[in-house]
Structure 1
Amino acid sequence: MLAIWFQSAPSGLGSLGGLALPVLFFVVLYVLMIVPNQRKQKKWQEMLGQLKAGDRVTTNGGIRGTILTVKDDAVVLRVQPDGVKLEFVKNSIAAVTTDEQAS
């Protein structure tokens, strides 16, 4: 008897009830995944724009060095212990490190 009542009960939303769940799913997905990633990307782009000679950086490959020169799309790093100069694309810079982080 109870099963018959659920089947015959009219839905107040009609076809919108079936559409509400996928829309809610995409809204939650956007808020939980896309918005934080956009903020992180914006912060990283600002960090790349503020690079200057003398900054200590870490590349995506894990190489740490000091910036000697900054070009349009590249930076030249001095890597210790031998003082080798390496040129990297700016997008390969993962983070600017401070003396406290390097210790």
Structure 2
Amino acid sequence: MLAFLPMILMFAIIYLLLIRPQMRKQKHQQTMLGALRKGDQVLTRGGIYGRIEAFKGKDNSQVLLDIGKGNKITVARAYIVGPASETVEAPKG
């Protein structure tokens, strides 16, 4: 039984340092994606700022973004990093 104690202790440390924070981060990301609404300013993983025009696709898994000057793109909802207000300020122009 004492031989397993170091392995159990290492697993507990790995869980507390690696797995648990990742699960929290993933839960926060899912909550943020679920709270997105039409008109929100967002930032994509590709570094593109845009305003949500509409949700498309099965289960609203795609987002139509207005990226300025009438240009619109469709991105996967999972590729939205977060609201532009929580990230680096969007460049003007």
* Unpaired stretches in structure 1, ≥5 consecutive residues: 1-15
Change (3 A) 1:100 1:88: closer
The percent of aligned pairs where both chains have the same amino acid is 34
Q: Which has a greater percent of helix?
A: 1
Bigger RCO of structures 1 and 2 (CA < 8 A, at least 6 apart): 2
* Residue 40 of structure 1, aligned match among 12, 25, 30: 25
Normalising by structure 2, we get a TM-score of 0.85
Query: Normalised by the size of structure 1, how large is the TM-score?
Result: 0.77
CA RMSD between the two structures: 1.7
Unaligned runs of 5+ in 2: none
Counterpart-to-counterpart distance in 1, 2:48 and 2:20: 30
100 and 20 in structure 1: CA distance in 2 versus 1, 3 angstrom threshold: closer
Give 1:50 deviation, angstroms. 0.8
- The count of corresponding residues between Structure 1 and Structure 2 is 87
Larger radius of gyration: 1
d(CA) in 2 for partners of 1:99 and 1:19?
45
